[in-house]
Amino acid sequence: MSDRIKIAFAVPALPAAGTLVLFAGDDGQLTAAQRKWLGEEAAATAARAVTADAFKGKSNTGITVLAPAGLQAGRLVLMGIGSAKDRAMTDFVTLGGAVLGKGGTSKAVTVLLDGPKGWRTDAEAAADLALGVLLRGYRFDRYKGRKADDETPETVTVTIGTADPAAAKRAFRRRSAVAEGVNIARDLVNEPPNVLFPEEFARRAETLGDLGVEVEVLDEKRLEKIGMRALLGVGQGSRRDSRVVVMRWNGAKAQKARPVAFVGKGVTFDTGGISIKPAQGMEDMKGDMAGAATVVGLMHALAARKAKVNAIGVIGLVENMPDGNAQRPGDIVTSLSGQTIEIINTDAEGRLVLADVLWYTQDRYKPAFMVNLATLTGAILVALGQEHAGLFSNDDTLSERLAAAGKATGEAVWRMPLTAAYDKMIDSKVADVKNSAGRHAGAITAAQFLKRFVNDTPWAHLDVAGTAMGSLSSETNRAWSSGWGVRLLDRLVTDHCEG
């Protein structure tokens, strides 16, 4: 993860330089305690700025006062936290991102976590604020040879003044590990496909071994021996060999406790194969491995914070290219499960990768549940846009837990249907199943296809085509890739899987 942002916690004190951030409630007004902190002259300067800018103190908005009279700090930023109702529901992660957005051009930012009576200022709030700062501070500019002055990464030290710095620092350790995981996932998705192909992706996953994760890389010879012919069929038109990577974190107190499993689609570039995609926008298909990136980021987060859980991460890594050896529409392949698959569309390739990897995971590891992530269908964008990931599941409890984790983290999911009628749409006349049922209900029939490869294991499929790449800009993300899903799944593990 970039070391551009440094986080510190300290007892509240006015800084001798840099930017000072204070939080203002209704109508931008500071509390008596804050005005006392500032002193009479600086408090009067802040009040004049509030009036001049007609600042109302709405949540996550702010105004800046340059060279405020009476302060040594070069800038004073007043950040809004809204009305009493808004303050009761403050998302401190989002607020932290907004704070850096207002003060991040300074090399030193001091945030005094204080506000109107009743507003949370505890250690957990301080740690969440710091998490938001780290997420907002992410940049992916390693390939820019020339950078404008305002693009040059400066090290920014953000000091959060809080009543109990030691407790905030302890609470932040966990958040820091999660931020690292998110930014690792972002890096992987943002990498160009000529740099991040299956073998290189696998090599980067192997670095998790430094944290105590057991990593096993299965090459094509091994995959052929195992029988992952659905996965291998996708990559057979590429000069880049396919890989499957298995990552194991054994952190549960009971070593033999059943693991939980996370599976990711890792198509490092998707041309569509013989069913080739239109040229416009094809460059975005470097992100078709975002599901696998999230799994790697999650496994990093769990290991870095020493999560008390046994977790398995499995990713299928392929490149889908159209050469003379490429898979054709009309081909029939035999999957690891023994089920035969009629290829209708070679651009419906991610489900072929997942079919083998899901079967392998449930058969070998007997997990308590499996969650897979995949940028699987454009149809989910039509249905849900970029506001929610599509959630499909054979288990109500797992679905409810994912929905609750999504609400807590802001990585929202929306449950979609799975029924026998949709499943019938993927029946084949010449094989056990076909890999595409056409345009109607495309996201659902793709999920129905996956469901045939999980047996009775509690399972959820997250279609993240709208959330994990080409991401919406937010207070905590300004990058093309959001690292979506790392925080969601870490929260799922935290709430339900650690003893």
What is the set of active-site residues?
A: 277, 351
* Cβ-based burial of 20 (10 A; exposed 0-12, middle 13-18, buried ≥19): buried
Number of C-alpha atoms within 13 angstroms, CB side, residue 65?
26
Report CA Rg, the chain. Answer: 25
Closest by alpha carbon to 432, among 333, 316, 357, 295?
333
Question: Rounded distance, CA 319 to CA 51, Å?
Answer: 58
Q: Which two tokens stand for residue 72?
A: 């040594």
Q: CB within 8 A of 28, min separation 6: which ones?
A: 50, 55, 56, 57, 63, 78, 80
Tokens 């192997």 found at: 206
Q: Residue 41 pairs with which residues in a beta bridge?
A: none
Q: Do 336 and 232 meet the contact criterion of CB atoms below 8 Å apart?
A: no
Q: Do 437 and 421 meet the contact criterion of CB atoms below 8 Å apart?
A: no
Closest by alpha carbon to 414, among 396, 448, 381, 389?
389
Question: Rounded distance, CA 332 to CA 435, Å?
Answer: 10
Q: Is the dihedral of CA 373, 375, 381, 387 positive or negative?
A: positive
Number of C-alpha atoms within 13 angstroms, CB side, residue 282?
13
Question: Rounded distance, CA 106 to CA 5, Å?
Answer: 11
Question: Rounded distance, CA 283 to CA 311, Å?
Answer: 33
Q: Do 254 and 362 meet the contact criterion of CB atoms below 8 Å apart?
A: no
Question: Rounded distance, CA 52 to CA 327, Å?
Answer: 66
Tell me, rounded to whole angstroms, the distance of Cα 26 from its chain centroid: 33
Question: Rounded distance, CA 242 to CA 198, Å?
Answer: 6
